[in-house]
Structure 1
Amino acid sequence: MFQTIAKSLFGSSNDRYVKSLGKIVNQINALEPQMQALSDDELKAQTDKFRRQLEAGATLDDILPEAFATVREASVRVLGMRHFDVQLIGGIVLHRGEISEMKTGEGKTLVATLATYLNAVEGKGVHVVTVNDYLARRDAEWMGQLHNWLGLSVGVIVPNLGEFQRREAYNSDITYATNNELGFDYLRDNMKHSRDQMVQRPFNFAIVDEVDSILIDEARTPLIISGPTQDKSDLYVALDEVVKGIPEDWYEKDEKTRNIQLTEEGTDEIEKLLLAKGLLATGNLYDIENTQVVHHLDQALKANIMFKRDTDYIVKDEKVVIIDEFTGRMMDGRRWSNGLHQAVEAKEGVKIEPENQTMASITFQNYFRMYPKLSGMTGTAATEAAEFWDIYKMNVVEIPTNVPVQRIDEEDEFYKNTLDKFGAIAKAIKEKNVIGQPVLVGTVSIEKSELLSQFLDKEGVKHAVLNARFHEQEAHIVAQAGRLGAVTIATNMAGRGTDIQLGGNVEFRIDDELGDMPAGPERDAAEQRIREEVAAEKAKVLEAGGLFVLGTERHESRRIDNQLRGRSGRQGDPGLSRFYLCLEDDLLRIFGPDTLFAKMMNSNLADGEAIGSKWLSKAIETAQKKVEARNYEVRKQVVQFDDVMNDQRKVIYEQRGEIMEAERVDDVVLDMRRDTVNALVGEACPPGSYPEQWDIAGLKEKVEEVFGLTPPIDAWLEEDQVEPELLEERIAALADEVMEQKIGTTDHEIWRQVEKSVLLERLDYHWKEHLATLDALRQVIWMRGIAQKQPINEYKQEAFGLFETMLDTLREDVTKILVKAELRIQPPQPQSLPDLPDFLTGHIDPFTGLDDSNDMDGSAERPELFGSLAGSPRAAFGPGGTNAENPFEGLEISRNAPCPCGSGNKYKHCHGAAV
């Protein structure tokens, strides 16, 4: 009560903070006449002026008012758009490393130009992160006009770019890219063998668009780069046959966590079936020898029982294509991990692709926390403000709208079952359609959108369906969803990136209707006609009440509902929103209040009758909060576990960087040799033990295996009382002597390169194996909870021990290879470039198997593996593509290998295209 009174008198803390920024806005506004008086050349010269001020010791905050005023005036001249005062506030919030929450249609893309320009003037690079490739390209082209006019360079990172283009884009003042591309480039950079082959430069500042989608929704799933392993197709198919025939009483399912647990009876019966098929190595399903079968059996159960076609995935062109649960988009080339995708492929009877092994991995939390300054913008962040602060230390600031919101948000309507609900929805849509009011319908799955489409067909309502099946027409369908009488069914509206404008989108109509018409008076007249038609149509839509947003179900997250609602009522337009719910909705069925809620609905409602009340809406909101809290815990667990790996990742990547930059690594190799000797002697002669307890036979065997030496250890022991320290010194001296003789007969420069290459190659190999071990550990560590132990603490201890073991193995491995290596100098041979397997990029949720990544042709670009040709200056051969004068003609280059010119394209798509 007291808080409510205080808020009404003094405003919320958010209101007070926004009000405090008004002083800076006034300073910017005061400079506007001065900026308007500048010529174009004088306004462009402001960039150099700011750079000189920064070099002289000024801070970004010192130049902020004048820099923002410069951007606003330049935007008026270049884009024809002037920043509103609330947009200036949003820009200040972004510059301060906070989250700017602005309603849909308030111009977030334009807001970003303020903070982007100010921070890019330093020359350290600014990354603007978007949710998809279309937005990255669009924003780079659209806002790039403004930045280029002011003298800043702009780059864009999208799939299938070559190494050279990526490096150029990252070296630009401002780089637009998707979150996945940034993360995968970071991982790939740390798989390179030379610093000059890396594409990214040190992190500085990032602005994340749709920050809630990227840093919350997608943060459950780590980014993974993987390579192929052995084919196990027969096992997937055999287990799928077993699972397809089992009755429901053999298992228990938990829809909240998407897990399947066999009952005692089910375990016994499936054990018999597997033995009959010869799939078990022993008679007990849970013997250690059957671990792999049990794992793939679990995945087969999940695939058949928990994952539904047309909801979680679709089958397109004989391939299983994942559907993003948040956006409803198809995710071509993306695959679930740990054999789940293969299990779904077996279920659907399509070709089974082999599994892959993790080679590098990172979560979005740990990737974006590497930026010294991070900010974001979205229309819906307030519900997750606590998580943003806990994980990223980012404050959420709600920016007021430029014009008050006029949208009316009605109470939810509740029905007994899905058919009643969809019948009511179809009637409501038809009523609005008759008066010409445009309707946007949000569904949660393809199945639901197609069911509603059938209802509308019966009612005779013309409509457009936007879901994963019609992904290609997405932008055009959304752009015209505000036209008179338009009815659009969309599977989730998160991250669509296209404004719904009442009366229709002028630019899209011009593109669609006049795309092939040449410039001239005729085209100008046609464009003017379209503008007039859109203006007239907008007036009619406004009269009809604006856009009506209708939700067919509540999403697990309130933010997704708010995103859908926010499509209506942009920039002061009138609008209406309403959600229709029933007891069969997943949210109510799985998470809702069970008995009282269901009894009341079933006993008090007749068929087709609706009920609406604040109490019911509150119950739904409570259910959503439960799910959000559970999802937060999942993300928290992901980041807790990845924090353990992240500490180790930093050590490995830092070591790799130092090795790559060093001209010689002989001191590192020497230390490794000494450490290996100490480890061997320490294992055979433990501290505090008696000589008669020493394993001398084992020591001689290991020294022979690692160093190829047979030192007279027995004679040393007979001569006098030899301490372990003396043994270490003598064995190390012998090993050093062997190495000195070898190096003495070899070209020193060549040997240095050999040491460096062996060190990097073995480091990468053992790190990859260590990642696989940690993956396996994370899947079983939960069992420690049965013994009343904290799984995360157990994981930390085990992971630390495994890391120490990996380093010991690495030292021994490198020492063994270098001691036994023989260098033979052969006459130069025609260079042949081997085929490499395409590495797969995955964005895998370790808890649910969901994936959000992009597997790209050319993601295996590893020019460091191809000798000096890989470093050839690409400029000498043009920007890629076919070149009639092939400088590599005559070389034995595989057509699937990366082109030696460095374009990043395969040879057959580049200089080898004409061959």
Structure 2
Amino acid sequence: MVSIGGLARKLLGSANDRVVRRYDARVKAVAAREADIAALTDDELRAQTETFRSEIAAGKTVDDLLIEAFAVVREGAKRALGMRHFDVQMIGGMVLNSGAIAEMKTGEGKTLVATLAVYLNALEGKGVHVVTVNDYLARRDAEWMGRLYRFLGLTVGIIVHGMSDEERRAAYACDVTYATNNELGFDYLRDNMKYERSQMVQRGHRYAIVDEVDSILIDEARTPLIISGPLDDRSELYMTIDGFIPQLDKSDYDIDEKQRTVTFTEDGTEKLERLLEAAGHLVGDSLYDIENVAIVHHVNNALKAHALFQRDKDYIVRNDEVVIIDEFTGRMMPGRRFSEGLHQALEAKEGVTVQPENQTLASITFQNYFRMYDKLAGMTGTAQTEAAEFGDIYGLDVIEIPTNLPIQRIDEDDEVYRTVEEKFRAISREIQDCAKRGQPILVGTTSIEKSELLAERLRQDGLKDFQVLNARYHEQEAYIVSQAGVPGAVTIATNMAGRGTDIQLGGNAEMRIDRELADMAEGPERTAKEEAIKADIKRLKESAIEAGGLYVLATERHESRRIDNQLRGRSGRQGDPGRSKFYLSLQDDLMRIFGSDRMDSMLTKLGLKEDEAIVHPWINKALEKAQKKVEARNFDIRKNLLKYDDVMNDQRRVIFEQRIELMDSEELDEAVADMRHATIDGIVSRHIPEKAYPEQWETEALKAEALEFLNLDLPITEWANEEGIAEDDIRERIRDHADRAAAEKAERFGPQVMTYVQRNIVLQTLDALWREHLVNLDHLRSVVGFRGYAQRDPLNEYKSESFELFEAMLGNLRERTTSQLTRVEIVQPEQRQPAPQVPAMEAHHFDATTGVDEMGDGAERLTANFTPAAADGLRRDPENPDSWGQVGRNEPCPCGSGKKFKHCHGAFV
């Protein structure tokens, strides 16, 4: 019996089919223009770009030009690339232009599809970003598709690791910019640490197309991008707090060994408060007052170090260092450190040198970075399983694009064995059988370790000719992947997502030609060899098809269906035959977590013998349900993390917008006066309470604060003794003296110098306070979860307390800026100082599953315009400041005084 929903789908098609059908009329309209556009010369075709731009300038939108522009791109691709967009690729381009995700099967030409939407949106002149997962793909696609864009009169830029700010600025100024997600995010953060608008490299966030959108916006988005720098030495604080822990009894804290957590009891908290108060580290009466959030963090780390971490089990002490021991392998991991001050707490516990802690200077999640774009689109082979997350977090719909040719791949039911050993024996037999029959086989594993174990097993079983990939060498691996469709090829891959290279049956002719004929000059001999390679590929393809096409064999189910689908989708490209099968065991992680014990005993009772497998569609359905549960749980975790980051993101936006306003302002007198007046209001209200009698006024304290924040020694006590004086009179007199002192200084410096000094002091003060604020938010985040024990929502608590911290930060900004501006003096008013340099910075993006920093062991250095002092010294004349160029604030002054530049020729005071 067919359900009503099933009947409707049969008659009307699925919701996705109905969306796709909406594009049919426009696809036909593009096709109708093909003959006319084909009649244009190359110059006439290129001139269409300027025509389109004029029409946009006259008020048309990109959507108004879609049909004409797509027809131009299709013709341009035929001439520049020798490729013609299929009709289904036209649909993909329209989906991308609409700001949605185009799900296209592997081999359907996503790279070419993107050119349609990229060209159309680049006509606005505001820049289009094409986002890739690694530098290799950014370079490859920029060069490959760049031929088409340049042919049509667009400029193409590329952002990869190691480029200077000037190169980056030029690349972002292009019509089309290819870059990795990490580079885009780090450039945004670095731009918002610059001191002049001209130093910034990005020019806005108009439109982005994210390739492998599921990998970038979901997998990599589990952890934020972080820029960090060294923190002031706090070793004394760590040692002081460490000394308190041995003074506590075991009854003063509760340990949960299973969850590896430890918390203070009420008695323990009270005892600790007394110790901290005696040492002068407690503000107010309670440890959990908002002012003590950093101390709470240090105290919790010290307790963890003593109660949860054991020497020679979790770490060892060697050469005045605490070295982590990997809990899984038992190996030492020199160079790796626990984060967020825990490693420093262990160093204090063991009495070794406490290394400086790194401080977060700036951070952003990929979710919040990519949500800044006015229009965002993405493409991948597997997005439907995460459609709810794309819709909820990014507001992106997922549209499945039909394949150009029907899929011929056969997806077989999983084979389930009782043990891992039985499973690997079966896999080895299957691989060897394929190799003998000449069927190319791609073997997917879930980790590098497991791929190496399988490789060793194959060697022991006598198979020597195979390739192992582990996502480390992108360019070399792209070639191996491209040839994985050669008859008899055996390729073992850890993760096939994001490699950006199709597996073509028989091999990839273009890549073979590039590699085999790299040193051969153009000419008849090369042409003959190229034809021979193409003929060989054709012969090999026929042989691979005869053997059954590419066989994808997976050694385990991933906890995400999407990763399984990515692997499976490597076979059956462009209507080719293919086959896929998953080999599982009851000892696999996913099977173990979801109740394989009962299944094991049941299969034993049913008489399942060794090396026999159970195969049934019900098992596939049960596993899919288990995967859906894991996906839902992971989505909830990411959503919860994002809720916390959204709080910080709102504050980040305010700060970054404020910085840009400051850099753009012609003069800052009004803004600085507002800060000065707010500071005066604050100090007056602190010491002259509302409706208090003059004898209750704290005039000496007010006088001291006027000296501290305004650099004014005022007779406030005498004023207070005058008959009939009011609080407002005191405020007005202080304000009058402060305004006159500021006006006198502005007159001495001149308006241009004064604005320059004001801007730099406000920006540097704002940056320093923002960094302190980020540390406080990190510490607050690590402890706010405990509020749940008191039946209070940790997220609401975090929102309210982070807002209080933000308000306090703005108050500090007003006071610190006012204090510095009242004391500032120009040492050399005739020489304009270079803009302050951003601090030394490191980039980090930690893998959510392994905790490994993907930016490298030492962390990538990010400081802009960094020039080693020794090399720079060759060009610097100590007697001639004009030859110094940009000098880092903390570099030795080139004049030879021995002082730091900021205390010598770079001084404001």
Asked whether the 8 Å contact 1:383–1:558 carries over to 2, the reply is yes
Report 1 or 2 for greater relative contact order, CA contacts < 8 Å, sequence distance ≥ 6: 1
1:405-420 mapped onto 2 (5 Å cutoff)? 405-420=407-422
Residue 808 (1) aligns with residue 811 (2):
yes
3-state DSSP of counterpart to 1:722: coil
Match of 1:532?
Answer: 535
| Offset, 1:720 | 2.8
1:890 to 877, 884, 902: 877
1:392 to 388, 391, 394: 394
Match of 1:278?
Answer: none
1:568 to 552, 571, 577: 571
CA spacing shift, 1:847–1:362, aligned 2, 3 Å: farther
Match of 1:260?
Answer: 260
Asked whether the 8 Å contact 2:471–2:495 carries over to 1, the reply is no
Match of 2:94?
Answer: 92
Match of 1:732?
Answer: 735
Asked whether the 8 Å contact 1:708–1:820 carries over to 2, the reply is yes
1:78 to 66, 77, 80: 80
Residue 293 (1) aligns with residue 302 (2):
yes
CA spacing shift, 1:697–1:614, aligned 2, 3 Å: farther
Mapped to 1, the partners of 2:651 and 2:221 lie a distance apart of: 20
Asked whether the 8 Å contact 1:411–1:617 carries over to 2, the reply is yes
Residue 68 (1) aligns with residue 55 (2):
no
Mapped to 1, the partners of 2:81 and 2:344 lie a distance apart of: 49
Match of 2:39?
Answer: 37
Residue 204 (1) aligns with residue 206 (2):
yes
Please, what TM-score do these two structures have when normalized by structure 1?
A: 0.83
Mapped to 2, the partners of 1:550 and 1:672 lie a distance apart of: 67
Mapped to 2, the partners of 1:712 and 1:385 lie a distance apart of: 69
Deviations along 1:841-892, one digit per CA (max 9) or x if unpaired, are: 12247898464457876620058x99xxx9xxxxxxxxxxx99xx9935369
Asked whether the 8 Å contact 2:416–2:614 carries over to 1, the reply is yes
Mapped to 2, the partners of 1:469 and 1:51 lie a distance apart of: 42
Deviations along 1:820-851, one digit per CA (max 9) or x if unpaired, are: 2233338879x999998641112247898464
| Offset, 1:551 | 0.9
Asked whether the 8 Å contact 1:159–1:856 carries over to 2, the reply is no
Deviations along 1:740-785, one digit per CA (max 9) or x if unpaired, are: 3333433443222211111111011111111111111111111111
| Offset, 1:128 | 0.7
Unaligned runs of 5+ in 2: 243-253, 269-280, 282-286, 288-294, 316-323, 889-893, 895-909
User: Which stretch of structure 1 is more off in the superposition, 353-362 or 800-809?
Assistant: 353-362
Asked whether the 8 Å contact 1:437–1:545 carries over to 2, the reply is yes
CA spacing shift, 1:412–1:433, aligned 2, 3 Å: same
Residue 761 (1) aligns with residue 764 (2):
yes
Mapped to 2, the partners of 1:546 and 1:75 lie a distance apart of: 29
Mapped to 1, the partners of 2:585 and 2:84 lie a distance apart of: 46
| Offset, 1:287 | 8.6
Match of 2:221?
Answer: 219
Mapped to 2, the partners of 1:534 and 1:233 lie a distance apart of: 65
CA spacing shift, 1:167–1:288, aligned 2, 3 Å: closer
| Offset, 1:337 | 4.5
Matched letter for residue 759 of structure 1 = V
1:780 to 779, 783, 789: 783
1:610 to 603, 606, 613: 613
Asked whether the 8 Å contact 1:304–1:344 carries over to 2, the reply is no
3-state DSSP of counterpart to 2:449: helix
3-state DSSP of counterpart to 1:672: helix
Residue 627 (1) aligns with residue 630 (2):
yes
Matched letter for residue 214 of structure 2 = D
Match of 1:54?
Answer: 56
Match of 1:437?
Answer: 439
Mapped to 1, the partners of 2:849 and 2:484 lie a distance apart of: 37
Match of 1:676?
Answer: 679
1:446-485 mapped onto 2 (5 Å cutoff)? 446-461=448-463, 462-467=465-470, 473-485=476-488
| Offset, 1:560 | 0.7
User: Which stretch of structure 1 is more off in the superposition, 370-379 or 463-472?
Assistant: 463-472
Unaligned runs of 5+ in 1: 240-249, 269-280, 321-334, 871-881, 902-906, 908-915
| Offset, 1:709 | 2.8
Match of 2:669?
Answer: 666
CA spacing shift, 1:154–1:580, aligned 2, 3 Å: same
Q: Percent sequence identity over matched residues?
A: 53
Deviations along 1:358-405, one digit per CA (max 9) or x if unpaired, are: 111111111111111111111000011111111111111000100011
CA spacing shift, 1:607–1:131, aligned 2, 3 Å: same
Mapped to 2, the partners of 1:336 and 1:23 lie a distance apart of: 58
Match of 1:521?
Answer: 524
CA spacing shift, 1:575–1:355, aligned 2, 3 Å: farther
CA spacing shift, 1:193–1:603, aligned 2, 3 Å: farther
What is the RMSD computed on CA atoms of the aligned residues? 3.9
Mapped to 1, the partners of 2:554 and 2:344 lie a distance apart of: 34
Matched letter for residue 570 of structure 2 = R
Asked whether the 8 Å contact 1:833–1:892 carries over to 2, the reply is no
Match of 1:789?
Answer: 792
3-state DSSP of counterpart to 1:745: helix
Deviations along 1:591-620, one digit per CA (max 9) or x if unpaired, are: x13653343345443332211222222222
Mapped to 2, the partners of 1:401 and 1:893 lie a distance apart of: 68
Mapped to 1, the partners of 2:313 and 2:527 lie a distance apart of: 57
Mapped to 1, the partners of 2:512 and 2:818 lie a distance apart of: 68
| Offset, 1:706 | 1.8
User: Which stretch of structure 1 is more off in the superposition, 106-115 or 607-616?
Assistant: 607-616
Asked whether the 8 Å contact 1:303–1:343 carries over to 2, the reply is no
Asked whether the 8 Å contact 1:861–1:898 carries over to 2, the reply is no
1:860-871 mapped onto 2 (5 Å cutoff)? 860-861=863-864
Asked whether the 8 Å contact 1:103–1:401 carries over to 2, the reply is yes
| Offset, 1:800 | 0.5
CA spacing shift, 1:505–1:302, aligned 2, 3 Å: farther
Mapped to 2, the partners of 1:154 and 1:314 lie a distance apart of: 47
1:813-828 mapped onto 2 (5 Å cutoff)? 813-825=816-828
1:171 to 163, 173, 182: 173
Asked whether the 8 Å contact 1:311–1:447 carries over to 2, the reply is no
Matched letter for residue 528 of structure 2 = A
Mapped to 2, the partners of 1:771 and 1:512 lie a distance apart of: 50
Mapped to 2, the partners of 1:296 and 1:344 lie a distance apart of: 5
Mapped to 1, the partners of 2:175 and 2:430 lie a distance apart of: 51
Mapped to 1, the partners of 2:398 and 2:307 lie a distance apart of: 41
Deviations along 1:456-479, one digit per CA (max 9) or x if unpaired, are: 112212211111566663222212
| Offset, 1:228 | 1.9
Please, what TM-score do these two structures have when normalized by structure 2?
A: 0.84
Asked whether the 8 Å contact 2:505–2:550 carries over to 1, the reply is yes
CA spacing shift, 1:353–1:632, aligned 2, 3 Å: farther
Mapped to 1, the partners of 2:343 and 2:843 lie a distance apart of: 14
Matched letter for residue 158 of structure 2 = V
| Offset, 1:10 | 1.1
Asked whether the 8 Å contact 2:301–2:342 carries over to 1, the reply is no
CA spacing shift, 1:661–1:837, aligned 2, 3 Å: closer
3-state DSSP of counterpart to 2:538: helix
Mapped to 1, the partners of 2:49 and 2:62 lie a distance apart of: 13
1:496 to 496, 499, 510: 499
3-state DSSP of counterpart to 1:577: strand
Matched letter for residue 221 of structure 2 = A
Match of 1:876?
Answer: none
CA spacing shift, 1:170–1:677, aligned 2, 3 Å: same
CA spacing shift, 1:794–1:290, aligned 2, 3 Å: closer
Asked whether the 8 Å contact 1:252–1:260 carries over to 2, the reply is yes
Match of 2:160?
Answer: 158
CA spacing shift, 1:47–1:741, aligned 2, 3 Å: closer
Match of 1:599?
Answer: 601
Match of 1:375?
Answer: 377
| Offset, 1:420 | 1.4
1:69-148 mapped onto 2 (5 Å cutoff)? 69-148=71-150
CA spacing shift, 1:846–1:530, aligned 2, 3 Å: closer
